[in-house]
Chain A
Amino acid sequence: MLIAAAALSLLVLAMVAVVAGRFPVVHRMVYGATMVAALVLTGGALDHLTGMSAGEAPTTVLPIGLPWLQAHFRLDTLTAFFMAMINAVAALASLFAIGYGTHVPEHRRVTPLFPLFLFGMNMVLLADDAFSFLVSWEFMSLSSWLLVLSDHRSETNREAARIYLIMAVAGTFCLLAMFGLLSGYGGDYTFATMRHTELSGLPAHLVVVLLLFGAGSKAGLVPLHAWLPLAHPAAPSHVSALMSGVMTKVALYAIIRVLFDLNGGVVWWWGAVMMVVGAVTAVVGVLYAMMQTDLKRLLAYSTVENVGIIVVALGLALAFLDSGDRLSAALALVAGLYHALNHSFFKSLLFLGAGAVLGSTHERNLNTLGGLLKRMPITGTTFLVGAAAISALPPLNGFVSEWLVFQALFRGPALPHWTMKFGIPVVGALLALAAALAAACFVRAYGIAFLGRARSAAAAHAVEVNAPMRWALLALAGICVVLGVLPVVVSTALAFVVNPLIDVQMNPAAGMGWPWLSPTGSVKGSYSATVVILVGGLLLLAARFAVRVWGVRKLRRAPAWDCGHAEDIANAQYTADSFAQPIRRVFGSTLFAAREEVEMPMPGDMEPARHRVIMRDPVWDFLYVPIGVAVGRIADLVNRLQFQTVRRYLLLMFLTLVFLLILVAVRR
């Protein structure tokens, strides 16, 4: 009940924002109320999660929607988990928006849509039949599209919104076809019926393909990811946080719901396909991220990478499930969900930090930032926590989910199929490569943007952001730390979430009890974040003590030594492009055809030499452009139908009628 009230209040808030949008204080109040509503939803979901036992799932049927099919809503463990996650992130993003929302370009267009977007996402999670699911999905897509389009005066934003709309509509169409297949010939579109219907053969495979196209494009799987790095940066930062951190998770929820719940019994080689797609997505995503100079596009590509990692875990769970190894399947699924949870928090932290930087300096290009840690200490420190978390550094949360994913992968060779036995080491190598490149990418992003010296006047005069933004950033950083330090608590909760789907109770501390995370028994490998932190703290104190005893406390500030070449020019330090150069040469010369060109002026010419990096986007050039060209050509051909004479139209109708009559005659 409380959840329903909170959800409906979001609709009310949207209307308030539209009506009274002229006054800035109304915007702040709307965001504040959204935060409260989101907190209520989080609390309700968590309450359900802790309160209910494994199989219980309260449902509601509302008399809205199609007349013979009312709207069904259901709250089971998976839904409750995702609701808790997305609303917690949304609450903190709203808190951020209280301070940031009025500084956004066209904020009057943004504020009403923000609660609507949240409402749509919650409804997708709660939906228990295909119709309400698809309506909520479209609601979510359209409200986020409008948010992307909010700053419509910029050409790039309009282009980004156009591509987003095309991909979103194509995705919904695939999901529509998929639900049609899932419901069989019964006409009853409720999920309850779909759970009991067994699909096999071609329809089952088509369901997986359509799901991966439809929900996968929303999540950002390569090669369907092209909209993501255009649309996520185009939206305002608190919305980007929601889109990257939360909407991609809703798409992953759809994948989990269909593959594990509605269509039980997926063949193992779909798991292999998902693993390959996920691994390629992860590596390609992080390589793209490494080449970006726009901070928000870098973060968007990094989302693609993390979605790849989650999909690898999901594919692994499917493969284990089909072979009957339920414990390993539960481990893989818990690893995937943990990574989804972690990613939603640290990616929102990073996007909100980027929003803070953008608000302070009005710059997104890494090559114009620098030295922001000293000017914006809170933003800089929380962004550091986010960057360390996404680079999978212990004792933060990113490391725990990476550890769990690798533990699940290491159990892979126990699978009976030879494709899996050979493929899993390759997938593992690709994931390890993606993780290492992600660390490189975020050293670059953080080092260029926040460390060093300011590369432009805007960065040199940045100021720290206001209180609500600071609190949001600090809260998110704190959550990242907590999720990293208490892995057993979180993974036990996730094992409970996973229980009804996989029908096994996994104990993440099976080997040695709290606080050691040892899901496969103590012999096979264990990790204890609390012990590591305690020991680390002790050793740090010992080091400080040793330095105190044997060393001196003197410290002096002086200009940088720089091997005696002290320069005052801030542009002599590394730029984002130069930092990426070694990796660009090693990895980018084949994938991106990256090369560098230097234009030297003629002797005596006072012009500066110019150094350019030229790359191509292989997915765009080899997939989207040909498809676009082909669609254009087909449209041109079909366009000729618009300009026919009356007689030709009559001829067309006559021919169609005759053709259908022939068909009827032949079938008889």
Chain B
Amino acid sequence: MSAIVWQLLHALLMVGLAPLVTGIVRLAKSRLQGRRGPSPLQPYRDLYRLLQKEAIVADSASWLFRVAPYLIFTATWTGAAIVPAFTSDMTLVPAADLIALVAMLGVARFFTALAGMDVGTAFGGIGSSREMMIASLAEPAMLMMTFSLSLLAGTTAPAGIGAFVLKGGIHLDVSAGLALLSLLMVAIAENGRIPVDNPSTHLELTMVHEAMVLEYSGRHLALIEAAGMVRLLLYMTLIASIFAPWGIAQPDEPAVFAVTGLLLFLVKVVLMAVALAVFETSIAKMRVFRVADFLGGALLLALLATIFIYVSEAV
């Protein structure tokens, strides 16, 4: 029974906290760039403003254009509901593992790319083709990272890996370090952050993600922006639950642990948001075809992580 309660709370938290996290990232970036910056609650106001506006749909768009934002948001939210944030005593935890999580993010990406092509403009094509190139390297890197973690922890479920780390299964392991590095690189690519993609660019030729959603407006755009924010929080939660799972309440622990877990989770998320802002400010965006080298490096790092297990653990 408590599992269902925690699951509901977790799902609502993921959606409710996501705009705040994005706001913190933007505020930190502004301060680092010497500006005052908007309030961290501004994304909530942005989403509400978009919801209140009329949605304008192109003449050449089909029904897919209008349905896609809902599918994208639902797929991302479902993925976020599966990764434990402050407790792993949730009903959905056994319903999907890391492979399924990668695939659900793939669903969101598939429909975003199709929506980009639906209106029949050149900019949509730019975004979709670049996004699929980035995905063709980021997905394998994530799957190989899952492989190495599953070899270490014996399971592909993020809750299980977290539990393994909590029991002291992984110390300062080279493989775990390489897997973490690979996951960070993939997370930057998938969320469209500098150095892979600039989320606040206005130059269409430098866009990847923004170009796909260029034609969206009103409530559709609100859903897509919200999905992007939830995706950022999802990746932060994933990194925290696998590599820094201290504080996540396990299924047989009393409820108060979940509360302390929640506080710790908030601390972790704020730290990661600030770290992301510092990283984005200190590095320049790469040329599009350098992104392939970057993600190829992530894939090879993940492969190395798998191979290194043999020398350290004598599997």
Contacts and interface: CB of A to CB of B under 8 A. Distances in A.
Complex contact flag A–B (Cβ < 8 Å): yes
Interface in B123-142: 123-126, 128-130, 132-133, 135-140
Given A539-B74, A539-B77, A532 B60 contact: no
Interface in B73-119: 73-75, 77-78, 81, 92, 94-97, 99-100, 103-104, 106-107, 109-110, 113-114, 116-119
Contacts of A522: 94
A555 B55 contact: yes
B57 A578 contact: no
Contacts of B135: 436, 439-440
B62 interface: yes
B118 A394 contact: no
A326 B292 CA distance: 40
B144 A574 contact: no
B58 interface: yes
B74 A540 contact: yes
A543 B204 CA distance: 30
Contact of B119 (A531, A560, A580): A560
B26 interface: no
Interface stretch (B46-54, B190-198, B258-266): B46-54
Contacts of B303: 425-426, 429
Interface string B211-223: 0001100110011
Nearest to A523: B155
Contacts of A425: 144, 147-148, 303, 306-307
Contacts of B60: 371, 452-453, 560
Given A394-B100, A425-B303, A528 B55 contact: no
B51 A391 contact: no
Interface string A525-553: 11110011001100110011001001110
Interface residues of B, number: 91
A558 B58 contact: yes
A413 B123 CA distance: 45
Given A539-B81, A551-B219, A532 B100 contact: yes
A579 B289 contact: no
Q: Which of A531, A573, A580, A582 has the most CB of B within 10 A?
A: A582
Contacts of A409: 147
Q: Which of A392, A525, A555, A583 has the most CB of B within 10 A?
A: A525
Interface stretch (A3-11, A160-168, A174-182, A399-407): A399-407
Nearest to B304: A425
A439 B219 contact: no
B30 interface: no
A543 B144 contact: no
B147 A410 contact: yes
Given A535-B95, A556-B57, A551 B51 contact: yes
Contact of A563 (B78, B110, B155, B204): B204
Contact of B222 (A439, A448, A551): A551
A523 B132 contact: no
B112 to A, nearest CB: 10
B17 interface: no
A257 interface: no
A143 B49 CA distance: 64
B150 to A, nearest CB: 5
B100 to A, nearest CB: 5
Interface string A566-596: 0000101110001111110110000000000
A428 B144 CA distance: 7
B120 A451 contact: yes
B157 interface: yes
A551 B47 CA distance: 10
A447 B292 contact: no
Interface in B30-83: 48, 51-64, 66, 70-71, 73-75, 77-78, 81
A554 interface: yes
B160 A559 contact: no
Contact of A555 (B54, B99, B116): B54
B184 interface: no
Nearest to A454: B120
A558 B118 contact: no
Interface string A508-523: 0000100010100011
B270 interface: no
A421 B62 contact: no
B133 A573 contact: no
B251 interface: no
Nearest to B12: A542
Contacts of B97: 525-527
B103 A543 contact: no
Contacts of A572: 121-122
A23 interface: no
A528 B57 CA distance: 36
A524 B144 contact: no
Nearest to B55: A555
A373 B60 CA distance: 11
A446 B114 contact: yes
Nearest to A560: B58
B140 A436 contact: yes
B53 A552 contact: yes
B310 interface: yes
B117 A547 contact: no
A552 B303 CA distance: 49
A559 B119 CA distance: 10
A443 interface: yes
Contacts of B106: 391-393, 439
Given A425-B307, A536-B74, A527 B100 contact: yes
B315 interface: yes
B281 interface: no
A185 interface: no
Contact of A552 (B56, B132, B219): B219
Contact of A451 (B62, B71, B73, B107): B62
Contact of A447 (B59, B114, B144): B114
Contact of B128 (A392, A437, A579): A579
B143 interface: yes
B156 interface: yes
A582 B64 CA distance: 25
Given A373-B62, A573-B125, A557 B57 contact: yes
A422 B214 contact: no
B58 to A, nearest CB: 4
Contact of B55 (A373, A527, A556): A556
**Nearest 4 pairs of A and B residues by beta carbon:** A574-B125, A452-B120, A551-B51, A447-B117
14 contacts: A370-B120, A384-B64, A432-B144, A433-B136, A436-B139, A439-B135, A443-B110, A443-B113, A523-B155, A532-B78, A540-B70, A550-B52, A552-B219, A556-B57
Interface of B: 11, 48, 51-64, 66, 70-71, 73-75, 77-78, 81, 92, 94-97, 99-100, 103-104, 106-107, 109-110, 113-114, 116-126, 128-130, 132-133, 135-140, 143-144, 147-148, 150-151, 154-157, 160, 204, 214-215, 218-219, 222-223, 288-289, 292, 299, 302-303, 306-307, 309-310, 315
Given A526-B97, A539-B77, A547-B223, 14 more contacts: A407-B156, A425-B144, A429-B302, A433-B136, A443-B110, A448-B117, A451-B120, A453-B120, A516-B95, A550-B48, A557-B58, A560-B60, A562-B119, A563-B204
